[in-house]
């Protein structure tokens, strides 16, 4: 039960951050530097949330990282369908990677403390 609740919660949080963070950073008007700073902050948020899920759910940290990052990757892929930009692929890979690394770090911190 804890696993299902944790994965659903991670998916919902990932969908919220994906919609209100990733899509806004790609879709909004602004300068190049402003978009890079916004994207960097969003990537740090994914790493922090991944670390939180890795700490809360230590045995299945990679499930939480995928549930957290896949909604944003899917939303970005749907947006990319109409307006292709190769940098979006890099953005998707960084979202998956940083959420996974954060979750791994949170898992390592939790297991080291025990």
What pLDDT score does 26 carry?
87
What share of the chain has pLDDT > 70, as a percent? 97
80 burial via Cβ count (<10 Å: 0-12, 13-18, 19+): middle
**Rg, the chain, Cα only:** 14
Quote the pLDDT of residue 100. 92
* Ramachandran quadrant class, 30 (left: phi over 0; alpha: psi -120 to 50; beta: rest): left
Cα–chain-centroid distance for residue 43?
A: 7
CA-based nearest residue to 68, from 5, 8, 25: 8
CA 112 to chain centre: 24
Look at residue 24 in the predicted model and tell me its pLDDT: 86
Confidence of residue 20 (pLDDT cuts 50, 70, 90): very high
Question: What's the pLDDT at 63?
Answer: 83
């Amino acid at each position: 039960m804890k696993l299902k609740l944790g994965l659903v919660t991670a998916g919902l949080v990932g969908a919220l951050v994906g919609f209100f963070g990733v899509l806004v950073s790609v879709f909004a008007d602004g300068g190049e530097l402003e978009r890079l700073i916004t994207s960097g902050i969003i990537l740090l948020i994914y790493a922090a949330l991944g670390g939180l899920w890795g700490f809360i759910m230590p045995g299945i940290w990679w499930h939480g990282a995928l549930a957290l990052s896949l909604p944003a990757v899917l939303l970005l892929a749907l947006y990319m369908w109409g307006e292709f930009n190769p940098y979006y692929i890099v953005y998707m890979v960084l979202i998956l990677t940083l959420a996974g690394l954060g979750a791994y770090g949170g898992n390592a911190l939790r297991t080291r403390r025990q």
